[in-house]
Amino acid sequence: MSEAGRSNMLSYRGYSTFVRYDTASGRLYGKLEGVRAYVDYELDDRYGSVEEAFREAVDDYLAYCEDAGIVPEKPYSGKFNVRVTPTLHAAAAAKADREGTTLNNVVKEALAAYV
């Protein structure tokens, strides 16, 4: 696979992570993204791959929640509400309509440019 085709993002059972590399120690590690609970993992001798370490962390988190009677946090869904003034809402919707797009697409493009 070409370098451009590689990604440091993994997903499993609806949870995602970005694999990080610590140059000082040479270790691969990460944590679950999109949840407040701190669930981390790192590649060590127990695992054949960083993906295996990540999957075990997710499975362990879900098992812990079940054993403790806790509802596991759900990761980001991709949906959220944005509160703006009615004037800004109307102006943005009108401009989106004039440009033949939707307000949803305007927000997606703005967020993509932001990150």
For the stretch 39-86, pLDDT in tens is: 999 998 888 899 999 999 999 999 999 999 999 998 877 788 899 999
Q: Three-state SS for 5?
A: helix
Give the pLDDT confidence score for residue 71 in this predicted structure. 95
Query: Using CA atoms, how far apart are residues 85 and 90, in angstroms rounded to an integer?
Result: 9
Structure tokens at 45: 């001798």
Are the C-beta atoms of residues 96 and 110 closer than 8 Å to each other? no
Give the pLDDT confidence score for residue 73 in this predicted structure. 93
Structure tokens at 53: 């370490």
Query: Using CA atoms, how far apart are residues 107 and 115, in angstroms rounded to an integer?
Result: 12
Give the pLDDT confidence score for residue 3 in this predicted structure. 45
Query: Using CA atoms, how far apart are residues 35 and 75, in angstroms rounded to an integer?
Result: 5
Instruction: Compute the average pLDDT of residues 11-33.
Output: 93
C-beta contacts of 11-16 below 8 A and 24+ residues apart: 12/51, 12/54, 12/55, 12/58, 13/58, 13/59, 13/62, 14/74, 14/75, 15/58, 15/61, 15/75, 16/75
Give the pLDDT confidence score for residue 46 in this predicted structure. 85
Give the pLDDT confidence score for residue 6 in this predicted structure. 56
| Nearest alpha carbon to residue 75 among 36, 23, 19, 114 | 36
For the stretch 88-111, pLDDT in tens is: 999 999 999 999 999 999 999 999
